[in-house]
Each structure stands twice: as C-alpha cells, then as structure tokens.
Amino acid sequence: MRVTHGLPLARKTTLGIGGPAAVFAELEDLADFPEFVALADAFPGAPICLGAGSNALVADAGCSSPVLRMNTRGVRFVGEAADGRTLVEVQAGHPLSDLVDTVVGHGLIGVEMLAGIPGTVGATPVQNVGAYGQEISDTLVEVAAWDWVLRRRVTLDAAACGLGHRTSVFKGSSRWTLLTVVFALRKCALSAPVTYRAVADRLDVPVGSRVAPAEAVEAVLAVRRGKGMVLGCSDADRRTVGSVFFSPEVTPAQAGWLRDEGASLNRFPDGSTRVSASWLMRWAGFALGGRVAEGVRVSYLHHTLVADEGASAARFTEAIGVVVQRVLEGTGVRLTPEIDFLGDWPQEGDMGED
C-alpha cells in the first residue's frame, strides 16, 4: 500500500478540481486492505473510496478523512449460476472498460452496452451504473465489502444492495468499502437487444435487433465519442464527469408535452419514465460551449457541464445550481446532481465572500 500525505485530490479526479487529502492511500493488493483499516482508524471521519475519480467533485478544502484509491486488478471466472450463466468475480479497482472487453472477448453478454463508461468495477453497484438499456442490476450477483460498522468483511447479495435508478444502499453511505463484485453473464453469439435508437442507427439496424457483441461495443463507443462521453476523446472537454445530472422521472402529464416537443424519453427497469437531462438543458436555452459560471461551461459536444481554467468546486456547484434553476423555471422538471460530493464542504451559511 502506498500512502501520501497532503496530496492534491484535483490530480486524482477527471474534473481536476479539489483540495488536498490529509492522507491518500493506493491499494494494489487486496491482501493489504487490513493496513488501510489500521491507517483509517488514526484519522477522524469515515474513510472515502475515490475509485477512478470520474464521478466525483472534491471540495476546495480537500478532505480530512482518509481517502482510498482501489488499484486492485483481476477478473476470474468462478463457476456457473443455477440458470447457466457464467459467474465472473472482479476486483473492485479493475477498470470497467477493461472488464467489458474481457468478457466480450470470452463470448459473454450482459455488460456490452456499458462500453466506454469510465471508472472502476467497484463503483458500478454504488451507482447501479447503466447506459443504452443495460444496468448493473441486470447481472449483479453479490459484492464483498468491508463493513466499517461491523468491522469485518461481509457479502451482500444483489437484493441486499438495494439497487435502483442510479442508486443503491452504498450511494451516499460511508458504511461500506467494496472489495470484489460478482456478475452472472450469459454465453451468447448475439448482444442484448439494441433498445436505443442512436445505437441502432449507428449499426444501421432496427431498434430491438441483436448483433455481434463486439459490434454493439463499437457502436456504443461511437455514439459516446460523438457526445464527448469517452475520456480522452475530446481534448477541449477532457475535464468532465460525463453525466452531471440524473435523468429525472416525469409524470404522465409531463411526459405528454415533452414527447410533443421531441424530448428524449425512455422507460427504465424500475418502471419509471425519464427524460434526458441534456435535452432539458438544451430546451432551457443552454448553448453548447456556453459559460455557466467562472471556469465552468457546457461541453462543446453534449449538454453537460465541464471544467475549464479557473474552475473550482464552489464554481462548479454554482453552475449546477444555475442549471437546476433554469431548467425548473423553463420546464417544471427538477434536475438532481448525479455526481458524488466528496470532502470537507462548507456548512450552509459558512460561504464567505470572494
């Protein structure tokens, strides 16, 4: 385990924002995790797992709690589920993109539509990561985690994880640090049905078609790159967390007029109808590349927020507030931030003047 004191967390996030960590630990081998437990006990506050930093906004003041980056790697094929699917155990620090490539290379389907999503596998149950018709809840079997309340390693099955739309029992909680994740994936020569029109159009097939998994991966990556939603595909928009806002749920009445206006609406596995947050931003008048707050603007390729020179956590949260207010005033739909706010944030009323 490698330990650094006072490391600027801006270096460890894709937004490039954030103050220093009192202590920053990088774990390469899960066998060393007890060392981090002992280290964390010497500091106040519950420890934070940063992962790859691709969904995090770190406070300008940094973080007084110990911060852990899981760099553990490894994919193991560990047996067969009762329904015949292949069980795959993955280390929490393993890159999600690499997992997709690995399992597709072994002829397995279930996560092919998640291609191009940044971050680690350990973060996927936290957010119930999903895109283009697939979610982690479709394939998750169980997770192994360190329980900071019980002070021991525990195993939680999928039901105990409380997976919902971009949420779980882990979201917003400091109780658990995820160590490994087990998925059940199906051996198949064809992908899951292509349910999103943009991906189907890229493949030149009707919605609902099934294609070779590798073809589905390439189509998803192409669509994501076109939106600047693959890290490194756009130098101008490189300081990004991808989606800043959840796709909000809408009522039947709201869905009616949004559909009439050509909004991007989709049904989700939880039964909800949700509208694209980026469509709402465009409808509310946010222009591609437009400045929203000092150092924060709309991406040049997609209606989401990115950081530029002069960005700070305070300015980024200001920009989030501006978007939420204008979208609410223009559409009656309230956006909710999807990103994780980490570190020592000012209490309400503590923000001083510039």
Q: Which residues participate in catalysis according to the annotation?
A: 166, 243, 338
CB atoms within 10 A of CB 298: 23
Per DSSP, what are the bridge partners of residue 120? 95
Question: Tokens for 113?
Answer: 């539509």
Q: How far apart are CA 274 and CA 133, in angstroms?
A: 13
DSSP β-ladder status, 130-131 and 134-135: antiparallel
Checking 172-177 for CB contacts under 8 A at 24+ apart, the result is 172/340, 174/46, 174/47, 174/48, 174/148, 175/46, 175/147, 175/148, 175/149, 176/145, 176/146, 176/147, 176/148, 177/47, 177/49, 177/68, 177/145, 177/146, 177/148
Report yes or no: 94 and 346 within 8 Å, Cβ to Cβ. no
DSSP assigned state of 280: H
> Minimal CA–CA distance to 65: which of 37, 38, 46, 42?
46
Q: Give the torsion sign (CA, 93, 48, 179, 156).
A: negative
DSSP assigned state of 212: -
Radius of gyration, alpha carbons of the chain: 20
Question: Tokens for 32?
Answer: 């060393």
Per DSSP, what are the bridge partners of residue 307? 296
Give the E-state strand segments of 265-313 in sequence order.
265-267, 273-275, 291-293, 296-298, 305-307
Q: How far is CA 77 from CA 1, 80, 93, 328, in A?
A: 26, 9, 17, 47
